[in-house]
Amino acid sequence: MPVEDPATQTPADRRAPAPQPGDPLAIQVEGLEKSFRIPTHRVDSFKERLVRPFAAREYRELHALQGISFEVRKGEFFGIVGRNGSGKSTLLKLLASIYRPDAGRIRMAGRLAPFIELGVGFNMELTARENVVLNGVMMGLTPGETRRRLDAVIDFAELGEFAELKLKNYSSGMLVRLAFSVMMEADADVLLIDEVLAVGDASFQQKCADAFHAMKARGKTIVLVTHEMATVEEYCHRAMLIDGGHIRQIGDPAETGREYLKLNFERGVETGDATSGPGADGARLLDCWLEDAAGERTTTLEHGEEIHLRAEIEVEREATGLGVGFVIANADGLGLFEFGTQVKAADGSDVVPAGTRTLVKAQLENPLAPGRHFVHCGAQSNRGGGVHVYVHNALDFVVFGTVGTKGIVSIEHEIEASVETEEKR
């Protein structure tokens, strides 16, 4: 696989030439509609069906998609963005033939990779080798073809020595690597991807990025669904914004990105724009970012890896007793916990002079369950003229890992269980 050196290229260069209007189509969607019936009372046994024969007749109709039409050309990298519940995942599932449309038509050229998430076809009880063969066949290769490609897949995932190991003994990183190589090797013409770029450690992420560029170079068509505008702007030729089951914007990724931010802005009182906005008076949040242990900026953390949060705040007026703080929220927007401190000037006083910048450094343990998280950041001083700034979703990051936790956080604990002996009773 040809590997480009991303360091020497700007994002714009790294984008393969965009397909032109005359190029053949890879995906054509016309008037797509899909709604779900959500029963007010779910009947899930024969017993209940007998007791309440009409219970399931009452339901609420949820219109997930209402008349979506678009086209994707061969070789295009197409982004779909939208908030939670906007219908973007439903659209992807329709494209992938997991759901059947209520109305409208989907047409596609070439072979489609039938996965929308990495590693879904994996059986933990089987070895990597068996899983690769099974997955290959799922993608439409013959068992013979798959066996021929087996070594290449294992090599790409850098798992040569673990090929005969059952997947249940794999680490999360190894699983992701294997899943990704399987997908790359399937050599499908059209790929549908739901938020996969932010997985694995930094070096494998780079490898994935390279692989994506190589796929672009080979003229593969990729449809990517994501929350992350940075990804869309870096990779996509065109992007589509879905809101409430309708197409809100389609075209230039940067334009779509701005529209997406505007949409978030309309929803919340506060802005998603990290520099200014109505949430600010006399203070500005200049930047907010996450660092890894080495002090490099990052957007992903492994489950349990320490969180290093940084923010830079500038006050326009002198502020006394300025407090700064962060709120960590999960993907559902639920605030998990907050923490903050008072800003101290160099001389130990609590007066922050006008025009100065404050660097906030926070370091905390990472109890967060795997998934996407958001950071809200704010600063406030009530004395004197009073300044404040609050930025909703100033930063988002992904915690990866496969720890099966039922909660939203995992906290340190001591627990003991012992069998009582006769005497103690």
Partner 1 sequence: MTVTTPDADLREVHGPSALGGGRRRFFDLLWLMAVTEFRRTYFGTVFGYLWSLVRPLMLFGVLLFVFTQVFKVGSELDDYPVLLLLGIVQFTFFQEATTAAVTSVVAQEGVVRKTQFPRLVIPLATVLTSFFNFCLNLVIVLVFILAWGVEPMWTWLLFPVAVAALFVLTAAGSMILSVLFVRFRDVAIIWTVLAQVLFYATPILYPLGPVGEKPPVLDEWQEHLLMLNPLAVIFEQVRVWMLEPSAPSAAEAAGGAIHLLPALAIFLGTCAFAVWIFNREAPRIAEDL
Residues that bind partner 1 (CB under 8 A): 21-22, 24-25, 28, 30, 36, 44-47, 49, 69-71, 93-101, 105-110, 112, 114-117, 120-121, 123, 125-126, 130, 133-134, 137-138, 140, 142-143, 250
What are the beta bridge partners of residue 378? 325, 390
* Shortest Å, Cβ 20 to partner 1: 11
**Lookup: tokens for 134:** 């099974």
* Shortest Å, Cβ 100 to partner 1: 3
Packing angle between helix 143-156 and helix 128-138, nearest 10 degrees? Answer: 130
Tokens 């519940």, located at residue: 85
Distance CA 81, CA 72 (A): 15
Q: Smaller CB distance to partner 1: residue 121 or 385? A: 121
**Do the Cβ atoms of 239 and 78 come closer than 8 Å?**
yes
* Shortest Å, Cβ 175 to partner 1: 13
Q: Smaller CB distance to partner 1: residue 134 or 214? A: 134
Distance CA 170, CA 174 (A): 6
Q: Parallel, antiparallel, or unpaired: how do β-strands 221-226 and 190-194 relate?
A: parallel
Q: Smaller CB distance to partner 1: residue 28 or 410? A: 28
Q: Smaller CB distance to partner 1: residue 4 or 189? A: 189
Q: Smaller CB distance to partner 1: residue 183 or 343? A: 183
Q: Smaller CB distance to partner 1: residue 34 or 308? A: 34
CB atoms within 10 A of CB 161: 8
Q: Smaller CB distance to partner 1: residue 6 or 114? A: 114
* Shortest Å, Cβ 68 to partner 1: 10
Q: Smaller CB distance to partner 1: residue 46 or 54? A: 46
* Shortest Å, Cβ 331 to partner 1: 18
* Shortest Å, Cβ 349 to partner 1: 57
* Shortest Å, Cβ 191 to partner 1: 13
Q: In 248-262, which positions are buried (b, 16+ CB within 10 angstroms) versus exposed (e)?
A: bbbeebeebbebbeb
**Do the Cβ atoms of 324 and 391 come closer than 8 Å?**
no
* Shortest Å, Cβ 228 to partner 1: 20
CB atoms within 10 A of CB 360: 19
**Do the Cβ atoms of 241 and 82 come closer than 8 Å?**
yes
Residues 6+ apart with CB under 8 A from 132: 146, 150, 153, 154, 178, 182
